[in-house]
């Protein structure tokens, strides 16, 4: 029997869009850019890329994608945010613009630029829960970290005691950029989450 390819969208206004499309295709999914609410039809998962969270959030609001995605999530859709994308998934944002538009689907606080200016960018080999084998080479670029207090949010990885990867039901947030390396394990994990049977809490 032929297994149908997972259909995963990438929010395509700004940021590391083509890198995510390429990584998802290499991981065996059908990857599609998402700009309009109608682009969500038939998708199992949506990636919000890194870039600038204020710019991506404003665009999502302008194009009607924030409301459309919230509804799509209520119907069971899975979202994976990297860096700016993860910030947009958070219910609380620290160091953000006041009233910065966001999706707000993960009950955690994102601390924007949380690793300070002196280390705008760095790489680290980290252990990620649920990822087998060697450590994951994680690329951080003006990255946030997350404060997690909700017991339904599962912490998957930390650097210097700062949470940098978390899961909530079918949603995944990473402060780093797995699309900028050749390691497809995190994209594979998300494709599994998006096509698996787990429900979103709430």
Ligand X SMILES: NC(=O)CC[C@H](N)C(=O)O
Which sequence positions are flagged as catalytic? 83, 177, 179
Smallest separation, CB 191 to ligand X (Å): 21
Contact status: 189 vs ligand X (CB under 6 A): no
Of 6 and 46, which has the nearer Cβ to ligand X?
Answer: 46
Of 83 and 108, which has the nearer Cβ to ligand X?
Answer: 83
> Applying CB under 6 A, which of residues 84, 111, 159, 172 lies at the interface with ligand X?
84
Flag whether 142 is marked binding.
yes
Residue 136 dihedral angles phi and psi, to the nearest 5° = -95, 125
Q: Which of 161, 166, 155, 153 is nearest to 202 (CA)?
A: 153
> Applying CB under 6 A, which of residues 18, 30, 52, 94 lies at the interface with ligand X?
52
Q: Which residue pairs, CB below 8 angstroms and at least 24 apart, start in 183-187? A: 183/136, 183/137, 184/23, 184/26, 184/27, 185/128, 185/131, 185/132, 185/133, 185/136, 186/128, 186/131, 186/136, 187/23, 187/24, 187/26, 187/27, 187/29
**Binding site members for L-glutamine:** 51-53, 112, 141-142
Residue ranges in contact with ligand X by CB under 6 A: 50-53, 83-84, 87, 112-113, 141-142
């Amino acid at each position: 029997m032929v297994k149908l390819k997972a259909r995963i969208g990438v929010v395509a206004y700004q940021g590391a869009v083509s890198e995510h499309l390429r990584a998802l295709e290499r991981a065996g999914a059908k990857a599609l850019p998402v700009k309009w609410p109608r682009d969500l039809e038939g998708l199992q998962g949506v990636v919000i890329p890194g870039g600038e969270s204020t710019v991506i959030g404003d665009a999502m609001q302008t194009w009607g994608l924030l409301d459309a995605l919230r509804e799509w999530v209520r119907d069971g859709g899975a979202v994976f945010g990297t860096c700016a994308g993860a910030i947009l998934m958070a219910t609380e944002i620290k160091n953000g613009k006041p009233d910065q538009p966001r999706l707000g689907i993960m009950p955690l606080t994102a601390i924007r630029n949380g690793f300070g200016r002196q280390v705008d960018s760095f790489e680290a080999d980290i252990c990620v829960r649920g990822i087998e084998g060697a450590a994951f080479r994680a690329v951080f670029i003006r990255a946030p970290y997350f404060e997690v207090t909700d017991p339904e949010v599962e912490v998957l990885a930390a650097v210097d005691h700062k949470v940098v990867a978390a899961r909530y039901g079918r949603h995944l947030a990473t402060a780093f950029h797995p699309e900028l390396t050749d390691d497809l394990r995190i994209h594979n994990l998300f494709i599994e989450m998006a096509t698996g049977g787990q429900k979103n809490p709430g």
